[in-house]
Structure 1
Amino acid sequence: MTNVHENITEILLLIFLIITFLQSGFDKVADWKGNLSWLTGHFSETPLKNVVPLLLGIILVIEVLAGALCGVGVIQFILDGESTMAIYGTILSCITLLFLLFGQRVAKDYEGAKTIVIYFMPAVFLLYILASN
């Protein structure tokens, strides 16, 4: 229980990322056609219009991987206070959010881009905490 108390901030932020990315990945799998349809329209006037299915698949894979690594990071923190997997999961989370931000900016969805920044801030903060230890 000492590891939980000593790393509670990191654990809570990792859980935030787990919820964010695993739920998003689950949504993409559960409603692939709906997501693909919406995104095809969203990017119809951009240079990305012909690669939306590929990009959606890539985002799905890295979201699930980021969430899973963060999950392993929580377990690692609890069991032995180590942060290796948490760092990998957080870095991949930040990269994923940057990809999403790029997509929103390309689509000129500036409100959507602002939303991504809200998720990016705690992810970068977590990375800062993890890198400082």
Structure 2
Amino acid sequence: MKRNSRLSLALHSVAHMASEPDRLRTSAEIAEHAQTNPVVVRRVLGKLRQAGILKAEKGHAGGWQLARAADRISVADIYLALDERLTPVSEDAPPRCSVEHALERRVSLIMDQAERDLIENLKGLSIAEARFPIDT
């Protein structure tokens, strides 16, 4: 799941935390495991802390850990905490062409429905469930 590195990093980190919920993990440790920078980790996991998914303890012996049980954290919780979207929200001026405007509006309605469907499906998958391999 490397399509979005923030979502991938968050899901990966939270799934590992779920395997040892009492263990604190430092940003440096998570960053090394994810092959990224600790600043990136703190930025991403900070959003999860704000959403009540993670808690962080500051200081030399501090670190990150789950704020609630893994079976009470859905993948949708993480997706929404990161303010993820299937398509970027356009901040461009509205199209001047009426055909483009109509097409954009129709496609936008479809994408909005797809986004709602995605979130609804992700609500049904907890981190506790997502940690285990899927039988194919």
The answer to whether TM tops 0.5 is no
Which has the larger strand fraction?
Answer: 2
Which has the larger helix fraction?
Answer: 1
Q: Structure 1-normalised TM-score?
A: 0.31
Q: Structure 2-normalised TM-score?
A: 0.30
Larger Rg: 2
